Amino acid sequence: MNPPTIPSPLTASAEHVDAAPSNFLRAIIDRDLANGTYRGRIDRDGRPLPPVVTRFPPEPNGYLHVGHAKSICLNFGIARDYDAHGGARCHMRFDDTNPTKEGQEYVDSILDVVQWLGFSWEHQGRSHVYYASDYFETLYAFAEMLIAHGCAYVDSQDADTIRATRGSLTEAGLASPFRERSAEENLALFRAMRAGKFADGEQVLRAKIDMAAPNVVMRDPVLYRVRHAYHHRTENRWCIYPMYDFTHCVSDALESVTHSLCTLEFENNRPLYNWILTQLCELGALPPPLPKQYEFARLNLTHAITSKRKLLTLVEENHVEGWDDPRMPTLVGLRRRGFTPESIRLFCERIGVAKADSWIEMAVLDQALRDDLEPKAPRATVVLRPLKLIIDNFLEGHHEACVAPVHAARSELGQRSFQFTRELWIEQEDFMEVPSKGFFRLSPGNRVRLRYGFVIECIGCDKDEQGQVVAVHAHYFVDSKSGTAGSDLYKVKGNIHWVSAAQAVSTEVRLYAPLFMDAQPDTSERNFVASLNPHSKEVVHAYAEPSLAQALPEQHFQFERHGYFVADRVDTQPGRLIFNRTVSLKDSRHK
């Protein structure tokens, strides 16, 4: 059964975007601060350490996605908030122990996107970016200590055998015939592993814990493996690499992390995290107090996938146009789509941090963007599917100056000006030759107001040979101009938007629909690729009011009646305007 889906909040304000939220993790930190658990520590250089140190530890094997934003906001958000109450910092740590899948391109994009989200790894003038690969030498030395003290052994069984002898939930595992090797023999073998004497998979180092432990993770887990592979930072210096379970806890301890926050799937690994650190602490390799791991629910977002590996498949198989395709749930994709850092932080705050998995509706993310941009995005008029409107009683070559507020609720932002001319563009859907019931926009004999312009009355239309309407004709009322005395004496039910054909700026607008048709593309029997929406991108050639000619890449707008749009940050150039629809004005995207 799938976990519950949390509906979108109906009304919400963006005001408290950076107010400190409360959650069970913050309660734990408050308790530790009150108890002084991590008080009075100093680092190896004698500098005082803050009582709260968190870390964000991605593996640089892909671009970060919206799920990572939750972890970033949590870890960096805690550091930001607690720094004002006793001191706190958050480390940016690359968990780079899988050399074949990782690379500098991913490191660069991760650093970039964390900063874009508004967070910093600087604390008191020092930068806190770390790489697990910088600890390889220390990790190796710690592994030798564990071996020397009988806490680890080299197993010469192959991976399949090790897996097959781990036992099950009801059956104890089977001890390896190599489990009782002497410390000397183990040390010699481990050194030979490092020296490159073995092929991939020939030997592993295992912790010597308990093959009958009820928690399968504790049945002599692998700590090191042989991997003859080039590493993007340590190059060819190593042919053995530490496993996640060994690397992660030791990295936390070396960095004096206090609260190591990870997703629920690591809950079973917590005893191992504690076991490794306790052994190393007892051996004098690590000083107390040790870091502690706490788990929280990962973010699952409907109509999206939150797995770097699967997102990589979409990129590699060309289902999308790259990691930053505006349909991708990657942070670079969301950014290009027009989501702001504030909206993503607001979203993370609204979804909260809990201990049980749940699904969040994409609509919650959309609403966060609306709530962020509603008070700040300048308004503009854009006709997405243009139809020519000719004002027959308006003189050719003449124009009438019109104005509209940049933002109706914020007069300080000033006015946009544009012209009313004989030929205009309106939306195709704003005209019906034979109006359906309840249609109050343009139809022969009907009157509407052209927003910020004049009231007009439709007098007919032109059609091509196929019977398609190609132009609409109307008369305007010269004394009906918006904002002039007496203009409100004209009572009309429809109010439509338009741009002057003489002044309009031609633009490409990219309209997006969900990338996946299934709400949970990743959990159904169907492969997520089979759930791809073939109509997730539509490109239209639109006409925009002249003020948009100056739009800069990444500038956000509310296109009246249409939604929030952003000037594409990659393809927009001087003289070539391209907009992406971020979200529509109302929640219609996922119906």
C-beta of 104: minimal distance to ligand ATP in Å?
16
Q: Sign of the C-alpha dihedral, residues 203, 207, 211, 216?
A: negative
Give CA separation, 477 vs 152, 448, 472, 530, in Å. 90, 11, 16, 55
> Do the Cβ atoms of 548 and 575 come closer than 8 Å?
no
Q: Are strands 494-496 and 447-450 parallel, antiparallel or unpaired?
A: parallel
Identity of the residue, 57 or 333, whose beta carbon is nearer to ligand ATP in the bound complex: 57
Report the alpha-carbon distance of residue 140 to residue 280 in Å, rounded: 12
Neighbours of 415 (CB within 10 A): 12
Told to judge if 374 belongs to the known catalytic residues of this protein, a careful annotator would answer no
| 31 binding partner (options Mg ion, ligand ATP, none; Cβ < 5 to 8 Å by kind) | none
- Closest-CB residue for ligand ATP? 67
Token duo for residue 219 = 């049945």
Q: Which does 197 bind (CB under 5 to 8 A by kind): ligand ATP, Mg ion, none?
A: none
CA-wise closest residue to 582 among 499, 482, 509, 498:
509
Distance CA 300, CA 360 (A): 6
Cα separation of 500 and 425, whole Å?
6
Q: How far apart are CA 424 and CA 247, in angstroms?
A: 65
Q: Which is nearer to ligand ATP, 61 or 503 (CB)?
A: 61
Q: What's the min distance (Å) between Cβ of 105 and ligand ATP? A: 15
We find the least distance from the C-beta atom of residue 552 to ligand ATP, in angstroms, to be 32
Q: For Mg ion, which stretch binds (CB under 5 A), given 51-59, 156-164, 348-356, 430-438?
A: 51-59
Closest contact distance (angstroms) between CB of 59 and Mg ion is 5
- CA nearest 504: which of 470, 548, 469? 548
319, 320, 323, 327 alpha-carbon torsion, rounded to 10°: -130
Point out which span in 10-18, 54-62, 100-108, 435-443 binds Mg ion (CB under 5 A): 54-62
Minimum Å gap between C-beta 117 and ligand ATP is: 13
Q: Which of 80, 233, 308, 481 is catalytic?
A: 308
**Quick one: what does residue 307 bind among Mg ion, ligand ATP, none, with the CB cut-off 5 to 8 Å set by partner type?**
ligand ATP
CB of 247 to ligand ATP, least distance (A): 11
Please, what is the minimum distance in Å from the beta carbon of residue 96 to ligand ATP?
Answer: 10
Closer of 110 and 389 to ligand ATP (Cβ): 110
- What is d(CA 370, CA 586) in angstroms, rounded to the nearest whole number? 9
- Cα 388 to chain centroid distance, Å, stands at 40
| CA separation for the pair 49, 57 (Å, rounded) | 20
Verify whether residue 265 is a known catalytic residue: no
Q: In the complex, which residue's CB is closest to Mg ion?
A: 59
Contact 153, 147 (CB under 8 A): yes
Within 536-555, which residues bind Mg ion (CB under 5 A)? Answer: none
Q: Which residue lies nearer to ligand ATP by CB, 354 or 390?
A: 354
Residues paired with 387 in a beta bridge: 426
Could you tell which of ligand ATP, Mg ion, none binds residue 263, using a CB distance below 5 to 8 A set by kind?
A: ligand ATP
Piece of 58-66, 112-120, 349-357, 496-504 that binds Mg ion (CB under 5 A):
58-66
Q: Which one of Mg ion, ligand ATP, none interacts with residue 81, CB within 5 to 8 A by kind?
A: none
| Nearest CB to Mg ion, comparing residues 59 and 185 | 59
Strands 222-226 and 204-207: antiparallel
Q: Choose the one of ligand ATP, Mg ion, none that binds residue 298, judging by a C-beta under 5 to 8 angstroms depending on kind.
A: ligand ATP
- From ligand ATP, Mg ion, none, which one binds at residue 378 (CB under 5 to 8 Å depending on kind)? none
Query: Residue-wise over 282-313: b if at least 16 C-beta within 10 A, else e?
Result: eeebbeeebbbbbbbbbbbbbbbbbebebbee
Under 8 Å between Cβ of 280 and 250 = yes
Q: Between 308 and 350, name the residue whose CB sits nearer to ligand ATP.
A: 308
| Residue 78 beta carbon to ligand ATP: minimum distance, rounded to whole angstroms | 13
Closest to ligand ATP by CB, 306 or 547: 306
Q: How far is CA 275 from CA 37, 63, 137, 293, 398, in A?
A: 19, 32, 21, 12, 83
Q: Name the phi and psi angles at 169, rounded to 5.
A: -65, -30
Interface residues toward ligand ATP, by CB under 6 A: 57-59, 67-68, 70-71, 95, 262-263, 298-299, 306-309
Which of Mg ion, ligand ATP, none does 181 bind, CB closer than 5 to 8 A by kind?
Answer: none
Task: Identify whether 26 is a catalytic site residue.
Answer: no
Distance CA 58, CA 91 (A): 11
- Of the residues 298, 385, 451, 589, only one is catalytic, namely 298
DSSP letter at 547 equals G
Which of ligand ATP, Mg ion, none has residue 57 at its interface (CB below 5 to 8 Å by kind)? ligand ATP
**Shortest distance (Å) from residue 308 CB to ligand ATP:** 4
Determine the interface stretch with Mg ion among 59-67, 202-210, 446-454, 484-492 (rule: CB under 5 A): 59-67
Q: Residue 307 or residue 411: which is nearer to Mg ion going by CB?
A: 307
Q: Which is nearer to ligand ATP, 120 or 313 (CB)?
A: 313
Interacting span for Mg ion (CB under 5 A) from 57-65, 236-244, 346-354, 537-545: 57-65
Active site positions, annotated: 59, 298, 308
Binding site for Mg ion (CB under 5 A): 59
